Amino acid sequence: MSAPINYPPKEVIEPIFGKINFELVILWMLNNNEVCTWSHLKEMIKPSTLSIYLKRLLVANVIEKKEFNQYTITTKGRDRFYELSQATKQKRKLNYPPKAILWKRNYDHWILWMVYNNNFCKWADFLNEPLSINNSSLSKNMNSLIEGSFVKKENKEYRITQLGKIQYSIMLRDYDLDRQSILEEESNRIKEVTKNALKFFKKYRIVEDETRFRFLNNLLRLPHEIIKQSVESEEDFFKILLYLSLNHPSQYPIFISTEKFAKKYGLELVVLEFHVLQIIEKKIYPVKFFKLEGELDEIYYFQANEKLERILNAVVEEHITKFTYLNKLYEENKDKAYSTTLESTIDAIVEEVCGPLFHEGLRYSLKKMLPSYITYLAYKVEKEKKLIDTYDKLKGLIWHEVQTYSSKKYLVQEFTNYDKNIKTVNKALSLNPDEFDLYVAKERVLFYFNKYDELLTLLDEMLEKFPEEEKDIKIKEAYILKEKRNIEEGLEIINKLLEKYSDDTELLTYKAYWLQYLNRKEDAVEIIQNLIQQDPDNSIYHDTFGEMLMSFQDYESAKNEFLKAIEISSEEWYTFQTHIKLGICYKELGKFKLAIERLDSGTKYAEKSKSDSETKQNWLAIANLFKAEIEELESEV
């Protein structure tokens, strides 16, 4: 009579965490029984799965197949069984990201945090609570991190790489974490790189503290892994960083050429020059470098956001702001002229920074560099500032008839000179004082040149002359008041119009916009949701709702409204704007590929749009701005 078969306990068959481990089930059965047959094993595992696992275990020599379809465990198999049993008993205690990181739902950041703060992670660790990342999102983000060499996979375990540690440190700066946490991470990274750096300093007698500091600063921001394929030797990589560290503006007039450096430190000249070019000009790292070129072929390098650049940034910003403000001031006062030019502003900047910040000998080099530096700052500021006002189509809604008049009625095709343009329109008005279209043409000129006070006066005149156009004229008045930052008075105008035209849905849409500008989210949303309820297939309502949600930074919900607007109609005058706004939402949600697709489709729709050239150019600039930002973000990965 054969002995009864022992079957695994519940914790093996129905594990609390993760999926059933079929290898453990088979090994448990064979370890706790002298022999098991196919029929015994298939009671626990379905035949197709059982067949796969038995083949694997036989090949691995952890089990043996006896006669009459019987299986037994080997010595190697018992060791494997013990290993799996211990792993099951000792449940790993995992560290999970803080709320500040979980809140943004950037899955790549979650994964990076997990593999940095745990010895290793299993696939199931990301699927289970509290992360609960769905399989497709996890696969996409994990593959991206592995391709970027930030995470490595070994025996179904995911671990962070050296490059991943650097990326993790950069990632932390995107979150509102306490400064001490970030400093601790920086300190940990410094410990990792210091050991080999000290050997390098000792070997090449690098004793000057400033040079050592700049070298370590470069090393922390320019990981070797990025160029390891072309510079395999860590020592050669250190030499390239040393060259950049030695040729810093604070060292002036000391300078070492690439030829002398290569000879002194035993590095091939072509290797040095190629990689300096890649780092400085080709921007293979996300770190921005500035160059100061001297009169005798000296070249000095300094990083964006280092102390020197931050001080220069503050000085330049102050002078450029002063230049801009005063030019605007004197533009309004035609009795006075403002003589300061951009060139004299640059001279003033050079005068202020030479001596305290830069050596006097770099005066000419600074003057040569500043125009491109000012352009860089202008682009950076433009890219960083919030463009919420620009995202909405209110301007297009209100001034739509101005934008759609035939070219003959425009009179002025190009806005080049205010005095000349306004003179042309006024002459036409003097000949045809009752022609409404000519007043609209004058509106266009005043609006383009931001002559808001004159435009308000013109609108009063138009209201008196054309009372039947009251609604459109008063809405334009409200819009100009908004541009002058008098939003409350604009809302009063809309409320008075609604008393007269209570069922006018267009006015209700405008009111929702104004409430949004006043940050009265609930009131604004209530109006637009009521309009959608009344007319669910109205594309413009969904688009407007999307804009509002964008302004409140609810990009996920905004995205859905824009998709609905496009689904209803893709041939509206504002369709190109909808695509671009949708692209911005995808960018904010971290879906860069979809973002680029929508920004590109918005650009194509703009080319076919009959909207005025200025509006199209503004939106195309926004699209290009976000595409550039996405490229920059992707280059950092």
Contact 588, 550 (CB under 8 A): no
CA pair distance 25, 12, nearest whole angstrom: 7
Residue 467 per-residue DSSP state: G
Contact 605, 579 (CB under 8 A): yes
Between 311-320, 349-358, 454-463, 467-476, the lowest mean confidence (pLDDT) is in 311-320
Establish if 250 belongs to a structural domain: yes
Between 81-85, 473-477, 629-633, the lowest mean confidence (pLDDT) is in 629-633
Predicted pLDDT at 387? 41
Helix (H, G, I), strand (E, B) or coil at 291: strand
Predicted pLDDT at 396? 59
Predicted pLDDT at 288? 84
- Identify residue 76 by its one-letter amino acid code: K
Does the pLDDT at position 576 exceed 70?
yes
pLDDT, average across residues 52-72? 85
Contact 39, 70 (CB under 8 A): no
Predicted pLDDT at 395? 59
Establish if 618 belongs to a structural domain: no
Establish if 320 belongs to a structural domain: yes
Between 104-118, 176-190, 214-228, 293-307, the lowest mean confidence (pLDDT) is in 176-190
Q: Are strands 151-154 and 63-66 parallel, antiparallel or unpaired?
A: unpaired
Does the pLDDT at position 413 exceed 70?
no
Predicted pLDDT at 403? 38
| Residue span of the structural domain in which 74 resides | 10-89
Residue labelled with tokens 């996405």: 630
385's CB contacts (< 8 A; 6+ apart) are: none
Residue 158 per-residue DSSP state: E
Q: pLDDT tier at 8 (50, 70, 90 boundaries)?
A: confident
Establish if 324 belongs to a structural domain: yes
Predicted pLDDT at 380? 53
Q: pLDDT tier at 238 (50, 70, 90 boundaries)?
A: very high
Domain-ending residue, one of 303, 324, 342? 303
Predicted pLDDT at 601? 92
Residues 171 and 128 in one domain: yes
User: Is the peptide bond between 253 and the residue preceding it cis, with omega within 30 degrees of 0?
Assistant: yes
Predicted pLDDT at 609? 77
CA pair distance 423, 427, nearest whole angstrom: 6
Distances (CA, A) of 343 to 340, 371, 495: 8, 9, 50
pLDDT averaged over the chain?
81
Residue that wins the pLDDT comparison between 392 and 143: 143
**0.85 exceeded by the pTM?**
no
Residues 298 and 316 in one domain: no
Does the pLDDT at position 375 exceed 80?
no
Residues 196 and 166 in one domain: no
Predicted pLDDT at 245? 92
Establish if 440 belongs to a structural domain: no
Helix (H, G, I), strand (E, B) or coil at 299: strand
Establish if 445 belongs to a structural domain: no
Establish if 501 belongs to a structural domain: no
Q: Decide: residue 24, CB within 10 A, 0-12 exposed, 13-18 middle, 19+ buried.
A: buried
Between 101-115, 126-140, 344-358, 614-628, the lowest mean confidence (pLDDT) is in 614-628
Domain-ending residue, one of 41, 68, 89? 89
Residues 279 and 380 in one domain: no
Residues 128 and 49 in one domain: no
% of the chain surpassing 70 pLDDT: 83
Residue ranges with strand state E in 249-330: 289-293, 299-303
Q: pLDDT tier at 262 (50, 70, 90 boundaries)?
A: very high
CA pair distance 444, 422, nearest whole angstrom: 10
**What domain count does the chain have?**
4
CATH code assigned at 70: 1.10.10.10
Residues 162 and 190 in one domain: no
| Structure-block tokens of residue 362 | 């770099």
At 154-211, the pLDDT tens digits run: 878 898 887 787 778 777 766 655 554 555 555 555 666 677 888 899 999 999 888 8
Q: pLDDT tier at 409 (50, 70, 90 boundaries)?
A: very low
pLDDT, average across residues 506-522? 87
Residues 58 and 37 in one domain: yes
62's CB contacts (< 8 A; 6+ apart) are: 27, 73, 74, 76, 77, 80
Domain-ending residue, one of 147, 177, 207? 177
Does the pLDDT at position 404 exceed 60?
no
64's CB contacts (< 8 A; 6+ apart) are: 58, 71, 72, 73, 74
Element (DSSP H or E) covering residue 70:
strand 70-73
Predicted pLDDT at 383? 42
Establish if 196 belongs to a structural domain: yes
At 525-568, the pLDDT tens digits run: 899 999 999 998 999 899 989 988 888 778 899 999 999 999 99
Predicted pLDDT at 384? 42
Residues 146 and 171 in one domain: yes
Does the pLDDT at position 485 exceed 50?
yes
**Helix and strand numbers, DSSP H then E, in the chain:** 34, 7
Helix (H, G, I), strand (E, B) or coil at 15: coil
CB atoms within 10 A of CB 477: 19
Residues 220 and 235 in one domain: yes
Residues 197 and 294 in one domain: yes
Residues 283 and 197 in one domain: yes
CATH code assigned at 202: 1.10.472
User: Is the peptide bond between 15 and the residue preceding it cis, with omega within 30 degrees of 0?
Assistant: no
pLDDT, average across residues 592-604? 91
Predicted pLDDT at 244? 94
Does the pLDDT at position 62 exceed 80?
yes
| Structure-block tokens of residue 147 | 């391709």
Distances (CA, A) of 355 to 57, 84, 219, 252, 345: 76, 69, 29, 12, 18
At 431-479, the pLDDT tens digits run: 888 888 888 888 888 887 778 889 999 999 999 999 998 988 998 998 8
Residues 147 and 220 in one domain: no
Does the pLDDT at position 60 exceed 90?
no
Between 98-107, 116-125, 395-404, 575-584, the lowest mean confidence (pLDDT) is in 395-404
